[in-house]
Structures are given as C-alpha cells and as structure tokens.
Amino acid sequence: MDELRFTVPGMTCGHCVQAVHDGIAALPGVADIAVDLESKVVVVRGTDLDPAAVDEAVDDAGFEVAR
C-alpha cells in the first residue's frame, strides 16, 4: 500500500478538512485518508496513488499542498 504525507497550511476549520478529504476520496486507489487540522498534516493511503492527482484534488478544493 502506498502512502502520501503532506501539509495543507491553509486549512483552518472543519469545513476545510471536509473539503480536502472529499476531494481526495474521489480519486481512484484511495483507501484511507487522515486529516489532522491542528498539525495541518494529511496522510493518504491506497494503491497506485498519483501524487499529481492528489495535489490537483486539493487545489480544486481551494487549498495548496506543501511538501
């Protein structure tokens, strides 16, 4: 299982967390997503994860990935 770990500095509330989560959840191969608002860390687990697609999903949700 692949794992991607990154931060999303712009997340400030539960709505932000939900938007990021929902955007990533729609991608193929995603099995699990953990979003921690306090640390702003997102961990995505799954198979054949495409980091560029994850970045785009976060961008589409209105946020920016910091690696």
Q: pLDDT tens, 7-59?
A: 999 999 999 999 999 999 999 999 999 999 999 999 999 999 999 999 999 99
- Residue 6 belongs to some domain of the structure: yes
Q: Which residue has the higher pLDDT, 67 or 37?
A: 37
47, 18, 62, 30 alpha-carbon torsion, rounded to 10°: 10
Q: What is the CATH number of the domain that holds 45?
A: 3.30.70.100
**Could you tell me the pLDDT band of residue 67, with boundaries at 50, 70 and 90?**
confident
Task: Using alpha carbons, list the distances in angstroms from residue 43 to 35, 65.
Answer: 7, 12
- Residue 66 belongs to some domain of the structure: no
- Residue 23 belongs to some domain of the structure: yes
pLDDT at 56: 98
Q: How far apart are CA 2 and CA 61, in angstroms?
A: 22
- Residue 13 belongs to some domain of the structure: yes
- Residue 48 belongs to some domain of the structure: yes
> By the 8 A CB rule, do 48 and 29 touch?
yes
**What domain range includes position 15?**
2-60
The total of structural domains in the chain comes to 1
What is the pTM for the complete model shown? 0.95
- Token output for 13: 């509330």
- Residue 65 belongs to some domain of the structure: no
